[in-house]
Amino acid sequence: MFRFERYQEENEQEWDAFIADKSVNGTFLQSRRFLNYHPKDRFTDCSLMIYNEKNNLAAVCPACELVENGARIFFSHKGTTFGGIIIDKKHHNAKHVTVLVQELKEYLKEQGYAEVYLKQTSDIFSTVESDLFQYAFQYAGYTEYKELSTYVHYASYKEELLSNFAQGKRTNVHNCVKEGLTVRELHTTEEISAFYDILCENLQKYDTKPVHTLEELLEFKNSRLTEECGFFGIYKEEEMLAGSMMFYFKKANCAHTQYLAAKQAYNKLSPMTFTYYSMIVEMKNRGYQNISWGTATEDLGKILNMGLITSKEDFGSSYCNNLTYYCKLS
């Protein structure tokens, strides 16, 4: 029923038009406009264009190839949060999805892959729920892994925003207001650089660095993702104490906190809590239905960061799962 072809550079326009205009579960994170910020030698791209019997593009699958102990692994593209199968509305039905998932498995086996990992778009970033794909992957013999994520769903939120918070978080916000903290959107290179310095300081205590360089964030802001990202700073007078980088998934009406960071010297005041609160207010005012905090798990959900998930729960958050599907092919 389906024909699989390796993605080529000349397919870029067709790929991005499909993601933006036809897919029901595609986001800008799977577009070539986004993925192409990576240097060409960073990943071995093995993404697929998937055509139906009439030679129309029915789905795409952003992916890269890994090699472990000599075995080739087909992996959801590691240059983005979600890969998996991105499909259009016409083919999002049981007949097509179950066949597509099975035929993809057979194709990858024929191509000599030993394993496959497919990380599907989370429900909150999709215009359709993932139930059909969940069943199709089970039907095809895949193992499902869940990563626990949290988000605020404004429709289930009480009108008085702070009343949704745990008492400790409410106190933090009131103290920050008393200290005169304010939120500003960041626009200049100098402002975004100041936020990036705070982010790096934050991650240093975990002996890690941001996924993106400062140059990449500035490229997102100024040219590559001008409509899909934004930066905010929390200020006490003219000093930035904390900040956030936001991704905007407009088709799914969801905003996502890509980065949140605060100066450790001000931990007692908790400008981080004020950042969460400010983003909840800001994104509600912009008309989003949800604001996502991301996952609190590692290693495909096998490790749960209890402190992190508890902190996010204290903002009156709801839960969703990011789903990854694995199958051993040989």
What confidence score (pLDDT) does residue 206 get?
A: 77
- Report residue 88 as tokens: 């259009």
Task: Single out the residue of 304, 16, 282 nearest to residue 147, CA to CA.
Answer: 304
Full pLDDT tens readout for the chain, 330 residues: 999 999 999 999 999 999 999 999 999 999 999 999 998 888 999 999 999 999 999 999 999 999 999 999 999 998 898 889 999 999 999 999 999 999 999 999 999 999 999 999 999 999 999 999 999 999 999 999 999 999 999 999 999 999 999 999 999 999 999 999 999 999 999 999 999 999 999 888 877 888 899 999 999 999 999 999 999 999 999 999 999 999 999 999 999 999 999 999 999 999 999 999 999 999 999 999 999 999 999 999 999 999 999 999 999 999 999 999 999 998
Q: Are 276 and 283 in contact (CB under 8 A)?
A: no
Place of tokens 């949060």: 81
What confidence score (pLDDT) does residue 83 get?
A: 84
What confidence score (pLDDT) does residue 308 get?
A: 95
What confidence score (pLDDT) does residue 275 get?
A: 98
Q: Are 232 and 243 in contact (CB under 8 A)?
A: yes
What confidence score (pLDDT) does residue 226 get?
A: 96
Exposed / middle / buried, residue 296 (Cβ in 10 Å: 0-12, 13-18, 19+): buried
Q: How far apart are CA 272 and CA 264, in angstroms?
A: 10
What confidence score (pLDDT) does residue 177 get?
A: 97
Q: How far apart are CA 241 and CA 62, in angstroms?
A: 38
User: Which H or E element spans position 117?
Assistant: strand 115-119
Q: Do domains 3-141 and 151-321 have the same CATH topology?
A: yes
What confidence score (pLDDT) does residue 219 get?
A: 96
Q: Would you say domain 3-141 falls under CATH 3.40.630.30? A: yes
What confidence score (pLDDT) does residue 208 get?
A: 87
Place of tokens 């024909």: 3
* Domain spans, the chain: 3-141, 151-321
- CATH superfamily of the 151-321 domain: Gcn5-related N-acetyltransferase (GNAT) (3.40.630.30)
